Amino acid sequence: MNDRVVDVLAFLYELHFNGNEAGGSPLLDLDSISAGLETAGFSEQLTHDALRWLGELDEIEARGFLESWNESGSSADESQRSYTREEVTVLGLAGCGLLLTLEQMGVLNALQREIVIERVSALGMGPLDDSDLRWIILYVLRGRCGSESASVWAEAVLFQNDWGGVLH
C-alpha cells in the first residue's frame, strides 16, 4: 500500500470531522468521496488504498471484538503489552511509548491499542512518524470502537497538547 495513505486519511479527517462535533459531514457515497479526493490532487490508486484501509477498519470494528470487553472499555486483566520486533520496526520506540502513555491516561484501552497496531501494520510502511500514528489513533477512536467524545479529547491531547503533559 502506498506509504502516503496517511495523507489522504488526514485530509479526510480534517474535511469530515474537524470542527464539526455534531457527527461530521453528511454521509457521502464512495464515488463522491473518490472524486473529491482526486479533485484535491490525490491519485486514483492512493484514493483507492485509503478507502480500502478505512473499509477494513470498519470491518474490524464490526466483527464484534467489543463483546469481550467490559463496560469500562478495558479487559478484565491489566496485562502489559510486549511488542514483536516487526511491530517495533513499524511503530518505532516513540510510537510504542505513545501508545503506552495514551493507555495509561485512559485515552486508549487495550482493544483500541491492538486495532491501532493492526491498522498501522496494514499500511505496510515503517517506521511511522508520530504525526502519522496520531492520525491513525484518531480514526480508531472516531470509529465504532471508540467514541466521539474520546476522539475529541484525544485530538486535543495528540495535536494540541492541551492536557499539560509531555508526550513522547
What does the alpha-carbon distance between residue 158 and residue 146 come to, in Å, rounded to a whole number?
15
Higher pLDDT, 44 or 28: 44
pLDDT at 63: 61
When pLDDT is cut at 50, 70 and 90, the band that residue 164 belongs to is very low
Task: Please compute the mean of the pLDDT values over residues 149-164 and round it to a whole number.
Answer: 62
pLDDT at 166 over 60: no
Grid cell 484501509 in the structure block, residue:
53
When pLDDT is cut at 50, 70 and 90, the band that residue 23 belongs to is very low
The tens digit of pLDDT for each residue in 92-136 reads 999 999 999 888 888 888 888 999 999 999 988 777 888 889 989
pLDDT at 167 over 50: no
What does the alpha-carbon distance between residue 119 and residue 153 come to, in Å, rounded to a whole number?
21
Provide the whole-model pTM. 0.76
Residue 4: all three cell numbers together: 502516503
When pLDDT is cut at 50, 70 and 90, the band that residue 88 belongs to is very high
According to the 3-state scheme, what is the secondary structure of the chain?
A: CCCCHHHHHHHHHHHHCCCCCCCCCCCCCHHHHHHHHHHCCCCHHHHHHHHHHHHHHHHHHHCCHHHHCCCCCCCCCCCCCCCCHHHHHHHHHHHHHHHHHHHHHCCCCHHHHHHHHHHHHHHCCCCCCHHHHHHHHHHHHHCCCCCHHHHHHHHHHHHHCCCCCCCC
Higher pLDDT, 152 or 83: 83
CB neighbour burial string for 135-147, b if at least 16 within 10 angstroms, e if fewer: bbbbbbbbbebbe
* Residue ranges per structural domain of the chain: 5-68+81-160
pLDDT at 162 over 50: no
Is 156 in contact with 150 (CB distance < 8 Å)? no
